[in-house]
Amino acid sequence: MPEYQLYCFAQSGNAYRVALMLNLIGADWQPVYVDFFKGGETRTPKYRAEVNEMGEVPVLAHGSKKLSQSGVILTYLADRTGRFKPDSEETRLEALRWIIFDNQKVNGFLGPYRFLKNFARPPGDPAVLAFLKGRIDGNLAIVDQRLAKAPFLLGNQPTIADLSLAGYLYYPAEEFGFDIATQFKHIATWRDRMQALPGWAHPYDLMPGHPLKL
């Protein structure tokens, strides 16, 4: 059995952060498909009792551990392997600052926006989507300004903060109805840098469940 098992599905940007890191560090891992859409697996008593009481993916199984929340998992993997790990107390706190901002304000809005636009039945209310889009534009602009100053969020080398940011930024533009790369040029060049890292792969290639049939 592989050393790590990742509970995930292809459409989850939260799970993609972890799948991407596992691939980039060359970990011995396998995905465990979670039927989120049709089966509602994460909402079942069995999943909440045996996998994650929060009813979410990703969950990383490693030996007797089952870890949830992508920021926790990225930190765990960085601490174990030394890869993508901030190199000082100051940068560790700075990475945490950007991971929280990303989870709350960047992918924290992109994920629900994309879900309401593509997967919700019926689709999200246009007024709700317009509100989310306004927040998305403002928060991506903050990241874009940051990436105008350095190749990666914390400087010249990628860290777990960049892996967190990658969550929803590689899904097709048509799933959002707008092109992030066209709108934010520094994010676009950052995406290219991340994509050039050995082991990078698209979320639909790393995790099972695509194409989705609703």
Q: Flag whether 213 is in a domain.
A: no
Q: Flag whether 39 is in a domain.
A: yes
Which has the closest alpha carbon to 98: 81, 115, 83, 86?
A: 86
Q: Flag whether 36 is in a domain.
A: yes
Tell me the two tokens of residue 213: 């049939």
Q: Flag whether 175 is in a domain.
A: yes
Shared-domain flag, residues 189 and 94: yes
What pLDDT is attached to residue 213? Answer: 78
Q: Flag whether 79 is in a domain.
A: yes
Q: How far is CA 187 from CA 49, 98, 169, 212, 214, in A?
A: 39, 15, 9, 27, 31
CATH number at residue 10: 3.40.30.10
Shared-domain flag, residues 20 and 57: yes
Q: Flag whether 107 is in a domain.
A: yes
What pLDDT is attached to residue 214? Answer: 65
Shared-domain flag, residues 50 and 113: no
What residues pair up with 62 in beta bridges, in sequence order?
A: 4, 65
Q: Flag whether 212 is in a domain.
A: no
Residue 44 lies in domain:
4-84+200-206
Give, to the nearest 10 degrees, the angle between helix 13-24 and helix 70-81. 10
Place of tokens 């040029």: 185
- List pLDDT tens digits, range 11-64: 999 999 999 999 999 999 999 999 999 889 999 999 999 999 999 999 999 999
Number of domains within the chain? 2
Shared-domain flag, residues 65 and 102: no
Shared-domain flag, residues 47 and 135: no
Shared-domain flag, residues 106 and 189: yes
| Model pTM above 0.75 | yes
CA–CA distance, 88 with 72 (Å, rounded to integer): 18
Alpha helices in the chain, H assignment, sequence order: 13-24, 45-50, 70-81, 89-101, 107-118, 126-147, 160-165, 180-183, 185-195, 203-206
Q: What is the DSSP string of 34-73?
A: ---SSS-GGGSHHHHHHT-TT--S-EEEETTEEEESHHHH
Q: How far is CA 194 from CA 56, 180, 199, in A?
A: 26, 15, 10
The DSSP 8-state label assigned to residue 124 in this structure reads P
Shared-domain flag, residues 112 and 178: yes
Q: Could you tell me if 95 and 161 are in contact, meaning their C-beta atoms sit under 8 angstroms apart?
A: yes
Shared-domain flag, residues 159 and 113: yes
Parts of the chain with a pLDDT under 70: 214
What pLDDT is attached to residue 33? Answer: 98
Shared-domain flag, residues 151 and 111: yes
Q: What are phi and psi of 170, to 5 degrees?
A: -115, 0
Shared-domain flag, residues 93 and 188: yes
Shared-domain flag, residues 96 and 183: yes
Shared-domain flag, residues 129 and 36: no
